[in-house]
């Protein structure tokens, strides 16, 4: 087999020389190695006080976006549920009643939209699949809970607030390039 | 420096211990350095001792190391005696020993038993130094046995070969016969003198009458030991077989040092010998016989090392001749020069064998002059030296021996000259067949021919220089020289000096030298005619030989004689003892007692139940009863 | 034996005991801190300033935990064992000289609870019976893991005691005394025993690791194979006792090593600057504790660096390496002490 | 604190050691478990040790204590070999009962 | 006074623990009682001014020998259930034999002459210097011989303890 890197060393079982059999030099060099680590700068991050900056493409808890008027973008088409490899997403669709135009952007909307956070693998396929730019993964973390059923997030948690300050910023994930790419319907991906 | 004499044998011993214990884990380089270095250090100390001794007035120093054996009347200290004789031998042993160590690093470099070889060599040096340094016969005996052991180990160094093992065993057993005589001699010395320290023994012996039968017995017994170790007739057959060992071993042990132990011993006990003329005559006769006998065998041998081996036996015979006629200095002188040129010849032979990939038969050699220039030159120098060509070292020492022999007995002198002529002949035969003419070996051998590495040639060169100039320490007065060696050794042989009267006129000496040189030259010329001009080659195996040639070639059938006269009857006798006495009578008694016990115990055993609790119970009851009897 | 003497000894003993427990307590904190630092972490830092109250929190936790005694266990022995462990661990402190002596109102008070003339043997004896706590605890739990841990502990301790003893004998040969106080006093200035006995010191330190069952010799309690070894079945404060005993052993071992080999309360050159006896004594205590703290740190440092031995490796190290080495050390020490006699045999 | 030999007569030590020794003998006779028997023998040895030390102290002669030293060495050797033998016995018979070891007859 | 009480106390404990060794059903308990018994004997040594011997006793017996016993018993997993029992008759006869032994020995003590040499009391004989001098001067040969004994025992134990002897 071809070695992947040239750092690999082939193990040879040969008779040890006297110098090697004394072991003490080897032990001493080992001790020196650990000692050098003793004085190294520790990479530990004191978590609650300090946090690590997330990468731009960090995929955390989902959000269901509203449009600029405050109407939910999701039309309950089910593409995200189909795309989900962990089968974490379920939804029940409903027809928009009259007078609810303010609430839902299209005629159809998701009456129930649930993501099981224990199943979700945060792959981001759902946001790729979404034709309505409704679901996004954000840099928020999923909080820990003590009961399993509390991990099934419903719309109450997923949908962002109507108010300006409760909106979740997804501009990092909705870059112009992505939007441009999504316009091209000839791609298999975007159909 | 004399204070450090303890280190001289200790360093090789340390070398032996280190190499022997850790030899397998050490690299060859380190083994070589330790092996050579320890001997070199000993040599340096020996040199220091030598020079300190020359500057000293008191020529005999005894160094007590520790009390060794103390039992009843017997008290033997472990002490070393430093005098001119032992210091000279120290130099020879450590000096030649060091050179041969260096040579061995090259010669044995491809052998798997490299470290073992060096361990043995160092051990040998240790024992040899013990032999010459000891201040009493027991330490000498320890060294004597030790070198015998090392000789055995080194002859059988390639122990996978049965023939070599047999050669080793032969050497060992033959030596034991001699050692028995030696041991009896020591015991007799102790019984006679009540001590075995040289100092006490010689001081007491000095006052004894010449021809004292006890002294004769002692000296003859000691000489049996010397015969075994120094390969004299009739115990010489082991030495040619000892050539089975690696060549450096042959050079060191079986030419330069160990075999001269007998000479050392006789020279050391010179007073005893001087006082027993019968023993002196025996020594002289056996010496000259050995010299002639071995020389005749040497004429017809085809193995390069065998020729040198018989030459060694022959030269040892010369030394004994010298001892026998009272020329102790001459003997020691010849020991020294012989150590140089014979070591040189052996090492040269080793170099040749090395080049010939193990071939030892001179019929397969020839024309090596071109391929091995250094070996060739040094070998030639060694040959000239042993032949007694002036002014090489052999000339002086041999001349001194012959002159002394002439003085003592004309017949001995004549036989000696005859031996010298034969020496010249067979040595040049060896030289011509090896280095002159055309190459007679196989093609692969021819292709493989090369000069040996530096580590082998440098010792050769040094030894060659010594073989050339070594004789100058003993230039006789007749040639206007001052016999340094004699001056130096005088204190040792002082008490025997009444036997060594130099009555020879200078003219006689000139005549003797002239005869020796003439004989040498004639012999050389004859060898030249036969082997260079006529290009005669020794007969191959299976070819018809003249009866005389056959006799000599087969070494007079001495080995076969020993086999038939001694070994076979002995085996028969042991067989009879085993079958009759041991099996029937001794075993019968022993087995009878056993049967009786079996029968009786068969009855008694029913008292045994096997229940440990019961035994303990009975034991406690027994204790109670015993205590009761104590109280009441 | 006056009453004042008794009170002074009592106070000293109590102080030693308290300090021992305090240090053992904070050793747990230090262990976690050191482990954290060696692994590029920070260690506990929430309870109090820099997590300084963490041991207290741990103690409270251990006390509040539910106490469990297995129904198949041997209850008496099960309860006695951890106490025995703690007891033997605490007993060693009495012979260690914590400093020279303080002179208060003209009376000299030694800072050593008792200077036995056979102090080293006392130490050794206490260490050798320390194994009972573990063995009894492991056996009484009636659990195969516990039993295995106990067996491992006992054979390990017996094995390493031999090498330890022989290395100490070499030390005794050079110092010529069995009193710990005298050994400490002999090492004034630069005469530290490690300079005389480097190999012996190394062997002693290795054996000390084995005797305290610390990594890399923590086979009796290795979590992976034996789920805690001899204290598998223990919970609550009995478990705490075992842990405490281990840390006390570590502290005492460091103290012994410092006293035997690293000069004890001595510090070179300090005599030049300070001449007041009492100040010197107090400084001595400070130095000794500095050495001890370094020792404890060293224990932790090793623990978080070197992986655990396999059991056969442990036995091989003990029997085939350390014991021959310690005998070699002994012989060399003897040869060095007799060097003049030996040399004079060969060189006159 | 006085030394014991200043206040306790030697007879008490003799008696104590006799009793301890007898307890050891009793153990050997009483039990069938080889290891317990072995331990009883150790107890007897220690009774003798104690007596030797008592004599040594009472006679002010350190030879007695040196003897105890030797007894300890012998006991250590004995335990090493003895326990090894017991292990072998157990391995072969699966029992530490001495009554199983009755092969040594006839 | 305190010494006398200590003597009585230690003697009582020694005899009690000794009896417990013999009488307790569980081998592990026997071992532990024997350890305690040895501690009381060490206490006696201290009372007799033989501190060095006391410590050595603790090291050798409690620290090494009894640990070995404990080790072996744990290794063989001996406990109350596997303990072999003797019949009541054998026990009775054993008790009688041991009792008679005690009786005879005490009787023999009665006849022995008493030693009166308290005035030569020397508190230093138990010190290590003193013992060492005696050991290495008067008993050097036995000391060396005992080292051979220990070596032989070691070799023997290793040979016996091997898994299989071929």
What is the radius of gyration, based on Cα positions, of chain C? 21
Tokens 């005088």 belong to which residue? B490
The whole domain housing D57 covers 9-96
Is residue E50 a part of any domain in this protein?
yes
Is residue A32 a part of any domain in this protein?
no
Instruction: Say what the pLDDT of residue A1 is.
Output: 61
Is residue A127 a part of any domain in this protein?
yes
Distance from CA of D44 to the nearest CA of E (A): 10
Mean pLDDT, residues C152-161: 84
Whether residues E104 and B627 touch (CB distance < 8 A) is answered with yes
Q: What is the per-residue DSSP string for C4-66?
A: HHHHHHHHHHHHHHHHHHHHHHHHHHHHHHHHHHHTT-----SSSGGGTTHHHHHHHHHHHSP
Whether D1 shows a pLDDT value over 70: the answer reads no
Distance from CA of B619 to the nearest CA of E (A): 10
Instruction: Say what the pLDDT of residue A13 is.
Output: 82
- The sign of the CA dihedral C196, C198, C201, C203 is negative
Whether D75 shows a pLDDT value over 80: the answer reads yes
Q: How confident is the model at residue C143 (pLDDT cuts 50, 70, 90)?
A: confident
Is residue A112 within 8 Å of residue A156, measured between CB atoms? no
Whether residues C37 and A37 touch (CB distance < 8 A) is answered with yes
Chains that touch C (3 or more CB pairs under 8 A): A, B, E
Tokens linked to B310: 């018989």
Express as a percent the part of chain B with pLDDT over 90.
1
Q: How far, in Å, CA of C298 to CA of C307, rounded?
A: 15
Helix (H/G/I), strand (E/B), else coil: B391: coil
Instruction: Say what the pLDDT of residue C231 is.
Output: 81
Chain C residues in contact with E58 by the CB 8 A cut-off are: 125, 128-129
Residue B537 or C290, more confident: C290
Mean pLDDT, residues B543-548: 68
Q: Residue A159 phi/psi, 5° resolution?
A: -75, 135
A22: preceding bond cis by omega (within 30 degrees) = no
Residue B405 or D43, more confident: D43
Instruction: Say what the pLDDT of residue B378 is.
Output: 87
Is residue D104 a part of any domain in this protein?
no
Name the β-bridge partners of A137: A62
Q: How far is it between the farthest Cα atoms of chain E?
A: 63
User: What pLDDT, in 10s, does the model give residues B447-494?
Assistant: 777 777 887 888 888 888 888 887 787 777 766 666 777 777 777 777
Q: Which of A55-59, B152-156, B379-383, B606-610 has the lowest mean pLDDT?
A: B606-610
Instruction: Say what the pLDDT of residue E14 is.
Output: 92
For residues E68 and E133, state if they share a domain. Answer: no
Chain C residues in contact with E70 by the CB 8 A cut-off are: 132, 135, 139, 154
Chain E residues in contact with C157 by the CB 8 A cut-off are: 67
User: What pLDDT, in 10s, does the model give residues D12-45?
Assistant: 888 889 899 999 988 888 888 888 888 899 999 9
- Domains contained in chain E, number: 2
**Which residue does chain D place closest to B607, by CA atoms?**
D106
Nearest residue to C31 (alpha-carbon basis) of C290, C251, C314 = C251
Distance from CA of C283 to the nearest CA of E (A): 33
User: What pLDDT, in 10s, does the model give residues E4-45?
Assistant: 888 889 999 999 999 988 888 888 888 889 999 999 999 998
Residue C285: burial class (beta carbons within 10 Å; 0-12, 13-18, 19+): middle
Whether C241 shows a pLDDT value over 70: the answer reads yes
Name the β-bridge partners of B77: B67
User: What pLDDT, in 10s, does the model give residues C37-90?
Assistant: 888 888 888 888 888 888 888 888 888 888 888 888 788 888 888 888 888 888
Helix (H/G/I), strand (E/B), else coil: C336: helix
Chains that touch D (3 or more CB pairs under 8 A): B, E
Whether C106 shows a pLDDT value over 80: the answer reads no
Chain E residues in contact with C95 by the CB 8 A cut-off are: none
Whether residues B613 and D98 touch (CB distance < 8 A) is answered with yes
Q: How far, in Å, CA of E103 to CA of E95, rounded?
A: 12
Q: Residue B206 phi/psi, 5° resolution?
A: -50, -35
**Whole-number mean pLDDT of chain B?**
82
Whether E164 shows a pLDDT value over 70: the answer reads no
How many C-beta atoms lie closer than 10 Å to residue B477's C-beta?
Answer: 12
HSE (CB half, 13 Å, CA atoms) of B410?
1
Is residue D101 a part of any domain in this protein?
no
Name the DSSP letter for residue A104.
Answer: B
Whether residues B630 and E108 touch (CB distance < 8 A) is answered with yes
Distance from CA of E67 to the nearest CA of D (A): 11
Q: How far, in Å, CA of B606 to CA of D105, rounded?
A: 8
Nearest residue to A58 (alpha-carbon basis) of A140, A175, A145, A179 = A140
Chain B residues in contact with D98 by the CB 8 A cut-off are: 612-613
CATH number of the domain to which A177 belongs:
3.30.70.3270
Which whole-number Å values give the CA distances from B200 to B5, B70, B139, B143, B197, in the listed order?
A: 22, 17, 15, 20, 6
Q: What is the per-residue DSSP string for B407-467?
A: HH-HHHHHHHHHHHHHHHHHHHHHHHHHHSS---S-HHHHHH--PPPHHHHHHHHHHHHHH
Chain B residues in contact with E101 by the CB 8 A cut-off are: 620, 623-624, 627
Whether residues B610 and D28 touch (CB distance < 8 A) is answered with no
The whole domain housing C249 covers 64-346
Torsion-angle region of C75 (φ positive above 0: left; ψ -120 to 50: alpha; else: beta): alpha
Whether residues D99 and B611 touch (CB distance < 8 A) is answered with yes
- Domains contained in chain D, number: 1
**Which residue does chain D place closest to B606, by CA atoms?**
D106
Whether residues B10 and C348 touch (CB distance < 8 A) is answered with no
Between B and D, how many CB-CB pairs are < 8 A? 30
Q: How far, in Å, CA of D66 to CA of D70, rounded?
A: 7
Distance from CA of D46 to the nearest CA of E (A): 8
**Which residue does chain B place closest to D25, by CA atoms?**
B620
Distance from CA of B48 to the nearest CA of C (A): 15
Instruction: Say what the pLDDT of residue E13 is.
Output: 92
Tokens 């045994």 belong to which residue? B608
Instruction: Say what the pLDDT of residue E105 is.
Output: 81
Residue B336 or B609, more confident: B336
Instruction: Say what the pLDDT of residue B56 is.
Output: 76
Is residue C79 a part of any domain in this protein?
yes
**Which residue does chain C place closest to A32, by CA atoms?**
C305
Instruction: Say what the pLDDT of residue E84 is.
Output: 66
Whether residues B623 and E101 touch (CB distance < 8 A) is answered with yes
Instruction: Say what the pLDDT of residue C331 is.
Output: 92
Q: How many residues does chain D have?
A: 106
Chain C residues in contact with E75 by the CB 8 A cut-off are: 151
Nearest residue to B8 (alpha-carbon basis) of B40, B55, B52 = B40
**Whole-number mean pLDDT of chain E?**
82
Whether residues E64 and C118 touch (CB distance < 8 A) is answered with no
Nearest to B616 among D29, D103, D106 (CB): D29
Q: Which of A119-123, A187-191, B219-223, B305-309 has the lowest mean pLDDT?
A: A187-191
User: What pLDDT, in 10s, does the model give residues B103-144?
Assistant: 888 888 877 888 888 888 889 889 988 888 888 888 888 888
Q: What is the per-residue DSSP string for chain D?
A: ---HHHHS-HHHHHHHHHHHHHHHHHHHHH--BHHHHHHHHHHHHHHHHHHHHHHHHHHT-THHHHHHHHHHHHHHHHHHHHHHHHHHHHHHHS--BGGG------
Q: How confident is the model at residue C176 (pLDDT cuts 50, 70, 90)?
A: confident
Q: How far, in Å, CA of B15 to CA of B13, rounded?
A: 5
Chain E residues in contact with B626 by the CB 8 A cut-off are: none
Tokens linked to A6: 């040239």
- The sign of the CA dihedral C276, C278, C283, C284 is positive
Is residue A66 within 8 Å of residue A159, measured between CB atoms? yes
B234: preceding bond cis by omega (within 30 degrees) = yes
Which whole-number Å values give the CA distances from A42 to A45, A132, B3, C43, in the listed order?
A: 9, 46, 68, 10
Measured in whole angstroms, how far is the alpha carbon of residue C18 from the centre of its chain? 16
Whether C220 shows a pLDDT value over 80: the answer reads no
Tokens linked to E13: 């404990």
Tokens linked to C337: 């002490």
Nearest residue to B300 (alpha-carbon basis) of B545, B526, B560, B559 = B545
For residues E55 and E128, state if they share a domain. Answer: no
Nearest residue to B49 (alpha-carbon basis) of B98, B1, B97 = B1
Residue B548 or B42, more confident: B42
Chain C residues in contact with B64 by the CB 8 A cut-off are: 348
Q: What is the per-residue DSSP string for B259-313?
A: GGHHHHHHHHTHHHHHT-HHHHHHHHHHHHHHHHHHHHHHHH--BHHHHHHHHHH
Q: Which of E28, E67, E75 to mutate to test the interface with C (most CBs of C within 10 A)?
A: E67
Q: Which of E85, E87, E94, E97 to mutate to test the interface with B (most CBs of B within 10 A)?
A: E97
Residue B71 or E69, more confident: E69
The whole domain housing A109 covers 62-190
Q: Which of B620, B626, B629, B632 to mutate to test the interface with E (most CBs of E within 10 A)?
A: B620
What is the radius of gyration, based on Cα positions, of chain A? 26
CA angle, residues E53, E59, E63, in degrees to nearest 5: 150
Kindly compute the dihedral angle of the four CA atoms of residues B23, B25, B30, B31, in this order, to the nearest 10 degrees.
10
User: What pLDDT, in 10s, does the model give residues E59-106?
Assistant: 888 888 888 888 888 878 776 666 666 677 777 888 888 888 888 888
Nearest to B628 among E93, E97, E104 (CB): E104
Among E82, E106, E138, which residue terminates a domain? E82
Distance from CA of B622 to the nearest CA of D (A): 13
Chain D residues in contact with E91 by the CB 8 A cut-off are: 30
Q: At a CB cut-off of 8 Å and minimum separation 6, what does D31 contact?
A: D37, D40, E22, E86
Which whole-number Å values give the CA distances from A28 to C198, C207, C209, in the listed order?
A: 16, 17, 16
Nearest to E55 among C122, C135, C158 (CB): C122
Is residue D74 within 8 Å of residue D67, measured between CB atoms? no
Residue B530 or C295, more confident: C295
CATH number of the domain to which D61 belongs:
1.10.287.3510
Instruction: Say what the pLDDT of residue B389 is.
Output: 78
Instruction: Say what the pLDDT of residue E118 is.
Output: 53
Residue C23: burial class (beta carbons within 10 Å; 0-12, 13-18, 19+): buried
- Domains contained in chain A, number: 1
Q: How confident is the model at residue B500 (pLDDT cuts 50, 70, 90)?
A: low
Q: At a CB cut-off of 8 Å and minimum separation 6, what does C51 contact?
A: C29, C33, C43, C44, C45
Using the CB atoms, write b or e for E51-62: b if 16+ within 10 Å: bbbbbbbbbbbb
Nearest to E55 among C125, C150, C151 (CB): C125
Which whole-number Å values give the CA distances from B119 to B245, B255, C199, in the listed order?
A: 15, 20, 30
Q: How confident is the model at residue B541 (pLDDT cuts 50, 70, 90)?
A: low
Nearest residue to C134 (alpha-carbon basis) of C146, C142, C143 = C146
How many C-beta atoms lie closer than 10 Å to residue B27's C-beta?
Answer: 10
Chain B residues in contact with C346 by the CB 8 A cut-off are: 6-7, 10, 65
Is residue A36 a part of any domain in this protein?
no
For residues E75 and E145, state if they share a domain. Answer: no
Instruction: Say what the pLDDT of residue B366 is.
Output: 75
| CB contact D7 to B (< 8 Å) | no
Q: What is the per-residue DSSP string for C211-248?
A: HTT-TTS-GGG-HHHHTTGGGTT--HHHHHHHHHHHHH
Whether B84 shows a pLDDT value over 80: the answer reads yes
Nearest to C124 among E59, E127, E128 (CB): E59
Q: How confident is the model at residue C326 (pLDDT cuts 50, 70, 90)?
A: very high
Instruction: Say what the pLDDT of residue E17 is.
Output: 92
The whole domain housing E160 covers 123-166
Distance from CA of B469 to the nearest CA of E (A): 59
Instruction: Say what the pLDDT of residue C224 is.
Output: 67
Global ipTM: 0.59
Instruction: Say what the pLDDT of residue D49 is.
Output: 92
Is residue C17 a part of any domain in this protein?
no
Whether residues E95 and D30 touch (CB distance < 8 A) is answered with yes
- Quick one: which H or E segment has residue B619? helix B612-631
Instruction: Say what the pLDDT of residue E38 is.
Output: 92
């Amino acid at each position: 087999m071809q070695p992947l890197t040239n750092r690999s060393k082939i193990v040879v079982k040969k008779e040890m020389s006297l110098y090697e059999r004394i072991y003490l030099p080897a032990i001493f060099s080992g001790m020196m190695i650990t000692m050098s680590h003793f004085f190294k700068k520790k990479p530990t991050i004191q978590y609650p006080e300090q946090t690590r900056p997330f990468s731009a493409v960090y995929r955390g808890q989902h959000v269901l976006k509203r449009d600029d008027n405050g109407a939910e973008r999701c039309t309950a088409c089910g593409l995200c549920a189909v795309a989900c490899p962990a089968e974490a997403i379920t939804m029940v669709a409903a027809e928009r009643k009259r007078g609810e135009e303010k609430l839902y952007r299209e005629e159809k909307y998701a009456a129930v939209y649930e993501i099981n956070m224990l199943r979700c693998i945060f792959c981001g396929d759902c946001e790729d699949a979404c034709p309505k730019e409704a679901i996004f993964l954000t840099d928020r973390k999923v909080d820990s809970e003590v009961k399993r059923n509390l991990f099934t997030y419903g719309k109450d948690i997923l949908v962002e607030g109507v108010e300006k300050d409760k909106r979740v910023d997804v501009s990092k994930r909705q870059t112009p390039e992505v939007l441009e790419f999504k316009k091209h319907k000839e791609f298999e991906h975007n159909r | 420096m004399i204070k450090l004499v303890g280190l001289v044998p200790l360093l090789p011993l340390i070398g032996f211990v280190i190499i022997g214990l850790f030899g397998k884990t050490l690299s060859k380089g380190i083994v070589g350095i330790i092996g050579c270095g320890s001997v070199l250090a000993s040599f340096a100390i020996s040199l220091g001792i030598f020079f300190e001794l020359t500057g000293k007035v008191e020529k005999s120093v005894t160094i007590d190391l520790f009390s060794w054996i103390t039992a009843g009347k017997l008290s033997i200290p472990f002490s070393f005696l430093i005098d001119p004789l032992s210091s000279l031998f120290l130099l020879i042993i450590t000096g030649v020993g060091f050179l041969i160590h260096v040579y061995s690093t090259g010669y044995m470099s491809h052998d798997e038993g490299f470290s073992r070889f060096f361990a043995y060599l160092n051990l040998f040096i240790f024992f040899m130094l013990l032999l010459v340094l000891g201040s009493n016969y027991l330490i000498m005996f320890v060294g004597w046995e030790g070198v015998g052991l090392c000789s055995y180990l080194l002859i059988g160094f390639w122990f996978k070969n049965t023939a070599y093992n047999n050669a080793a065993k032969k050497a060992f057993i033959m030596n034991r016969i001699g050692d028995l005589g030696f041991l009896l001699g020591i015991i007799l010395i102790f019984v006679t003198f009540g001590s075995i320290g040289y100092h006490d023994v010689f001081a007491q012996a000095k006052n004894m009458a010449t021809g004292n039968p006890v002294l004769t017995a002692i000296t003859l017994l000691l000489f049996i030991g010397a015969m075994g170790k120094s390969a004299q007739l009739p115990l010489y057959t082991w030495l040619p077989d000892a050539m089975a060992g690696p060549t450096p071993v042959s050079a060191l042990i079986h030419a330069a040092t160990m075999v001269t132990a007998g000479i050392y011993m006789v020279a050391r006990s010179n007073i005893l010998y001087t006082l027993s003329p019968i023993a002196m005559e025996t020594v002289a006769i056996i010496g000259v016989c050995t010299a002639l006998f071995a020389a005749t065998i040497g004429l017809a041998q085809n193995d390069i090392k065998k020729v040198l081996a018989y030459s060694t036996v022959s030269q040892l015979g010369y030394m004994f001749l010298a001892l026998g006629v009272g020329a102790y200095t001459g003997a020691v002188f010849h020991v020294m020069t012989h150590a140089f040129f014979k070591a040189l010849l052996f090492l040269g032979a080793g170099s040749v064998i090395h080049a010939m990939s193990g071939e030892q038969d001179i019929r397969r050699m020839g024309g090596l002059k071109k391929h091995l220039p250094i070996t060739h030159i040094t070998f030639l120098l060694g040959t000239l030296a042993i032949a007694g060509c002036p002014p090489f070292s052999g000339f002086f020492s041999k001349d001194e021996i012959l002159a002394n022999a002439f003085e003592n007995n004309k017949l001995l002198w004549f036989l000696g000259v005859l031996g010298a002529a034969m020496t010249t002949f067979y040595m040049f035969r060896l030289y011509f067949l090896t280095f002159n003419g055309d190459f007679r070996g196989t093609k692969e051998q021819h292709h493989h021919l090369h000069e040996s590495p530096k580590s082998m040639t440098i010792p050769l060169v040094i030894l060659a220089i010594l073989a050339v100039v070594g004789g100058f320490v003993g230039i006789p007065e007749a040639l206007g020289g001052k016999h340094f060696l004699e001056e130096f050794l005088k204190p040792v042989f002082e008490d025997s000096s009444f036997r060594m009267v130099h009555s020879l006129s200078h003219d006689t000496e000139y005549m003797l030298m002239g005869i020796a040189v003439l004989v040498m030259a004639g012999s050389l010329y004859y060898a030249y005619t036969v082997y260079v001009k006529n290009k005669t080659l020794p007969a191959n195996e299976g070819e018809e030989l003249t009866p005389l040639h056959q006799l000599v070639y087969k070494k007079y059938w001495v080995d076969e004689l020993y086999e038939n006269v001694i070994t076979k009857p002995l085996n028969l006798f042991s067989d009879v003892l085993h079958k009759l006495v041991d099996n029937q009578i001794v075993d019968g008694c022993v087995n009878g007692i056993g049967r009786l016990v079996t029968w009786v115990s068969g009855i008694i055993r029913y008292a045994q139940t096997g229940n440990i609790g019961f035994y303990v119970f009975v034991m406690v009851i027994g204790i109670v009863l015993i205590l009761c009897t104590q109280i009441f | 034996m006056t009453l004042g003497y008794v009170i002074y000894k009592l106070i000293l003993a109590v102080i030693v005991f308290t300090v021992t427990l305090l240090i053992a307590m904070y050793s747990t904190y230090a262990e976690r801190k050191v482990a954290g630092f060696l692994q590029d972490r920070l260690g506990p830092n929430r309870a109090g300033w820099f997590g300084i109250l963490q041991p207290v929190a741990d103690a409270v936790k251990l006390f509040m935990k539910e106490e469990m005694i297995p129904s198949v266990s041997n209850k008496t022995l099960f309860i006695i064992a951890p106490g025995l462990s703690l007891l033997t661990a605490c007993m060693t402190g009495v012979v260690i000289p914590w400093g020279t002596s303080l002179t208060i109102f003209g009376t000299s008070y030694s800072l050593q609870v008792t200077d036995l003339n056979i102090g080293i043997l006392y130490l050794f004896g206490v260490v050798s019976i320390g194994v009972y706590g573990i063995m009894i605890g492991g056996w009484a739990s009636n659990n195969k893991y516990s039993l295995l841990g106990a067996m491992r502990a006992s054979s390990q301790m017996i094995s390493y005691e031999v090498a330890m003893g022989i290395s100490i004998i070499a030390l005794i040969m050079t110092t010529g005394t069995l009193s710990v106080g005298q050994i400490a006093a002999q090492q004034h200035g630069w005469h530290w025993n490690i300079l005389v006995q480097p190999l012996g010191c190394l062997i002693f330190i290795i054996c000390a690791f084995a005797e305290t069952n610390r990594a890399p010799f923590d086979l009796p309690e290795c979590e992976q194979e034996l789920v805690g070894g001899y204290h598998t079945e223990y919970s609550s404060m009995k478990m705490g006792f075992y842990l405490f005993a281990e840390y006390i052993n570590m502290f005492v071992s460091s103290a012994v090593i410092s006293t035997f080999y690293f000069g004890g309360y001595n510090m070179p050159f300090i005599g030049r600057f300070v001449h007041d006896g009492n100040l010197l004594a107090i400084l001595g205590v400070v130095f000794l504790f500095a050495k001890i703290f370094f020792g404890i740190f060293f224990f932790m440092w090793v623990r978080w660096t070197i992986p655990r031995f396999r059991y056969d490796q442990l036995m091989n190290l003990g029997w085939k390496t350390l014991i021959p080495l310690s005998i070699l050390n002994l012989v060399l020490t003897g040869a060095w002490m007799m060097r003049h006699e030996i040399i004079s045999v060969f060189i006159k | 604190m006085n030394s014991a030999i200043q206040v306790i007569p030697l007879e008490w030590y003799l008696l104590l050691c006799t009793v301890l020794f007898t307890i050891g003998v009793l153990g050997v006779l009483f039990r069938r478990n080889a290891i317990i028997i072995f331990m009883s023998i150790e107890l007897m040895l220690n009774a003798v040790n104690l007596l030797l030390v008592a004599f040594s102290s009472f006679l002010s002669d350190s030879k007695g204590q040196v003897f105890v030293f030797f007894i300890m060495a012998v006991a250590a050797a004995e335990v090493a070999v003895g326990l090894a033998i017991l292990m072998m016995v157990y391995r072969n018979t699966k029992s530490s009962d001495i009554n199983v070891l009755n092969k040594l007859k006839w | 006074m305190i010494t006398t009480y200590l003597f009585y106390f230690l003697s009582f404990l020694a005899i009690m623990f000794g009896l417990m060794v013999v009488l307790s059903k569980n081998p592990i308990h026997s071992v532990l009682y024997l350890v305690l018994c040895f501690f009381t004997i060490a206490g006696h040594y201290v009372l007799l001014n033989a501190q060095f011997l006391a410590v050595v006793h603790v090291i050798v017996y409690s620290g090494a020998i009894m640990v070995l016993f404990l080790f072996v018993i744990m290794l063989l997993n001996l406990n109350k259930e596997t303990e072999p029992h003797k019949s009541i008759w054998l026990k009775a006869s054993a008790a009688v034999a041991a009792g008679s032994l005690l009786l005879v020995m005490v009787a023999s003590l009665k006849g022995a002459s008493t030693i009166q040499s308290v005035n030569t009391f020397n508190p230093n004989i138990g010190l290590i210097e003193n013992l060492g001098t005696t050991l290495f001067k008067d008993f050097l040969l036995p000391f060396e011989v005992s080292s051979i004994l220990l070596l032989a025992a070691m070799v023997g134990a290793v040979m016996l303890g091997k898994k299989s002897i071929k």
